[in-house]
Amino acid sequence: MKNIVVAGNGMVGYKFCEKLLARHTEGLTDGGQFSLTVFGEEPRAAYDRVHLSAYFSGTSADALSMAPGSWYADNKIDLRTSQCITHIDREAKTVTTHTGTVVPYDTLVMATGSAPFVPPVPGVQKDGIFVYRTIEDLEAMMAWGKRATRAVVIGGGLLGLEAAKAALDMGLETHVVEFAPRLMPRQLDTAGADMLRQKMEELGIRIHLSKNTAEFEGYDRVTGLRFADGSVLETDMVVISAGIKPRDELARQSGLTVGPRGGILVNDLLQTSDPDIYAIGECALHNSMIYGLVAPGYDMADIVATQIVSGGAGKTFMGFDMSTKLKLIGVDVASFGDPFCEQIPHRTIVWEDRLAGVYKRLNITEDGKHLLGGILVGDAEAYNMLLQTSKNRMVLPPTPEDMLLPARKGEAASAGAGVMALPDEAVVCSCEAISKGTICSAVTEKDATDILAIKKCTKAGTGCGGCVPMLNDLITETLKAQGKIVRKVLCEHFDLTRQELYDLVRINKQTSYGDVLAQYGKGCGCEVCKPAVASILASVHNQLIAKQAVIQDTNDKYLANIQRGGTYSVMPRIAGGEITADKLIVLGEVAKKYDLYCKITGGQRIDLFGARVDQLPYIWEELTDAGFESGHAYGKSLRTVKSCVGSTWCRYGVQDSVAFAVDLENRYKGLRSPHKLKSGVSGCARECAEAQSKDFGIIATDKGWNLYVCGNGGVTPRHAQLLATDIDRETCIRYLDRFLMFYVKTAEPLQRTAPWLEKLEGGMAYLKSVVIDDVLGMNEQFEQEMQHVVDTYQCEWKSVVDDEDLRSQYQHFVNASDTDETLAFVSNGRGQKQPAQW
């Protein structure tokens, strides 16, 4: 029997065990070919460090676990946690732990990983200074963070920004200090890093670049950072995330060859200078490269497992593509191929939208035929396809710049089909080295027709998760190629699409989530289906959303938007932006009485910020008494119908846009929809209401109105498309009734009108045939359903004010009526308050 010992039980050490089991089909039986002993320093089995920051948002250690302890036992793996190997006797071929335990080996696999690099700065030993590496580190940070107010993260790379997110999640004022002149210097160019910095600062994270920490100030606990330029940044908590160093101390002590800057030297077989000892993961130095991502570590684990089982035959390690995509504090960031091309002749194409916070760069060959690499910040939706285009040397289209532009009419519908042009050997899941051919075979031969089945069957998508969108596209397009109907079910608890469930609820008149789940679903539900079903119930019955509060997010539960610091904003409806002097006075009086911050929004409304949850019913009572209604700023519903002053006042106006906007807003104000809706009415072609950037927009003409639909702003802005020309008001309303009800019935959860239209087979031509030509024969039903919404409208604020049971739910504490005394505000210097920094 061959004794295999693994030093280290991190993600790569665990993956080696998994790959060895997969390669050795007989298993690791007591009398079999191999015995496997795994040593791990930490008190628990391997867990997912890639998603470690999720621990701050409530994900448990068990949920992060790669496999339970029982998995090791069931597979005859001797896992020894809380044990550190301190000595390797290469002649006797034994390892000794810190407890004195001696274990023999025939093959030793070093998977010791890396440790955080802690710069030798005076004062680094003070209390309040942490590294960001293990669950124990995170628990210590969380405990300290309860008594801290400001956190400084040293390091503006991947790990540093993850640590900044953790500090932000703890409610701390967050600063990032980076020695280099830009964030993420290994992945982003200057322009991309500037865009990322802008996004970070918009979220409240303060960035300090080109700063060299000279000393940590304080007596026994940290009170500040003194920089080499003499400036000081005060703080009561520091997180060091300035990079990693390979854990090679055991290899050094045992005489294995290490690199001049650290790392256990390995060959293409991943053998160290001792052929019976392998090194994999972040401790291994291959061709002068330390790989700090999980995917190359997994590839190394697979290669060594194959070498051991096959007795030397198998593939070799030839380096690894360091392309990466991640979401940093809600901001997409990706780099692929060669992001800089500093040594290669190339051409560069750049798309930059500073308003939306999007930066994209493509590096292509001088002849324009092939993609070399690129950078994406703010919108990385195209990452997977761009990565595959680069890796597989696919020929670019004649106008490669089109790959950077937001999707246009008809493009999104065919985006998934593009993956089928990839060669079968194209690696779709880098973490598990799973090819497109393997995915498609799982669909066709093993009936794996959803993501869960693909993960179970192939392991694709179980690592970082970045390949999941492409997996979905491959499943869909492979099924279509087989002539099968593709149904996008709501979630694992409902084997129905949203449209099917909508129709069932409408026909059978269920009124609660429990009834819907009992009738059509299974299990207890989840965060995907609960809000979707609540939206369907509100859309069909137009009932008070607060009665579904148990399955709503915070905004819908309290009929107000939660803001920084834990207070809420109140935004009454001001239809068409038209308001009387008396109502303006009431808004001023309420704002003054409750000390609220006032802001005129981009949608021609007035928002009042800073209300405590217990104050909301009292504020609403005063506003509804003055004739105001809920503005639904918290809901997936109609927000505003923006208008210009139109022909009433403007000398260019040709129609009364204000009156029409008020009528439309009052008609659709009670509509609940898959996503928020925005509208605009312009009184002439000068387009002051910006109607063509709205979900539905109307522009006056000399003969009537032009109706535009399916536009939106945001990260991927879309221009609305023309649905009808020179129609009268009655026809316009009739078309809108049909369009909106068709959208509500058929859109996916949280899908805006623009992507809905792009994925609608037949596009605008088909939409016109439905709305105008009644090709479905459902227009009469659409109009009746919309009229039901209009007839059953009730102001949600007033419903809460008049209902004592609902009103009693508006308190900060579940078991006490005390107010939250921890809310803190500061002056903004312009005569109003704002929340103190988190």
**Residues in the annotated binding site:** 644, 650, 684, 688
Place of tokens 């309860």: 146
Token pair, residue 142, equals 């969380």
Helix ranges, 450-528 (H): 451-458, 468-481, 498-508, 513-520
Q: Which tokens hold the place of 194? A: 């500037």
Distances (CA, A) of 615 to 554, 560, 594, 609: 16, 12, 8, 12
Give dist(CA 711, CA 694) in Å, integer. 5
Residues 524, 493: Cα–Cα separation, whole Å: 8
The tokens describing 734, both together, are 């009739």
**Quick check: helix, strand or coil at residue 89?**
strand
The CA distance from 71 to 87, in Å, is 28
The residues pairing with 373 across neighbouring beta strands, listed in sequence order, are 337, 363
Sign of the Cα torsion 547, 552, 554, 560 reads: negative
* Helix-then-strand count for the chain, H and E: 27, 38
3-state per-residue secondary structure call for 581-640: HHHHHHHHHHHHHCCCEEEECCCCCEEEEEECHHHHHHHHHHHHHCCCCECCCCCCEEEE
Residue 325's DSSP bridge partners are 334
Q: How many CB atoms lie within 10 A of CB 48?
A: 19
Pairing outcome for strands 331-337 and 696-701? unpaired
User: Which residues belong to the annotated binding site for siroheme?
Assistant: 688
Q: What is the 3-state secondary structure (H, E, C) of 652-696?
A: CCCCCHHHHHHHHHHHHCCCECCCCEEEEEECCCCCCCCHHHCCE
From its phi and psi, is residue 93 left (phi > 0), alpha (psi between -120 and 50) or beta?
left
If residue 730 lies in a helix (H) or strand (E), which one and from where to where? Answer: helix 729-746
Binding-site positions for [4Fe-4S] cluster:
644, 650, 684, 688
Helix, strand, coil percentages in the chain from 3-state DSSP, rounded to 5:
35, 20, 40
Q: Which residues contact 281 (CB under 8 A, 6 or more apart)?
A: 8, 10, 11, 12, 13, 111, 112, 113, 291, 297, 300, 301
Whole-number Å distance between alpha carbons of 254 and 85: 11
Query: How far apart are alpha carbons 97 and 101 in whole angstroms?
Result: 5
Give the strand pairing for 2-7 and 34-39.
Answer: parallel
Phi, psi for 126 (deg, rounded to 5)? -65, 155
Report the 3 state secondary structure along 24-47. CCCCCCCCCCEEEEEECCCCCCCE
Beta strand spans in 291-392 (E): 324-328, 331-337, 347-353, 358-364, 371-377
Contact call for residues 568 and 606 (beta carbons, < 8 A): no
Nearest-angstrom CA–CA distance, 579 and 592: 19
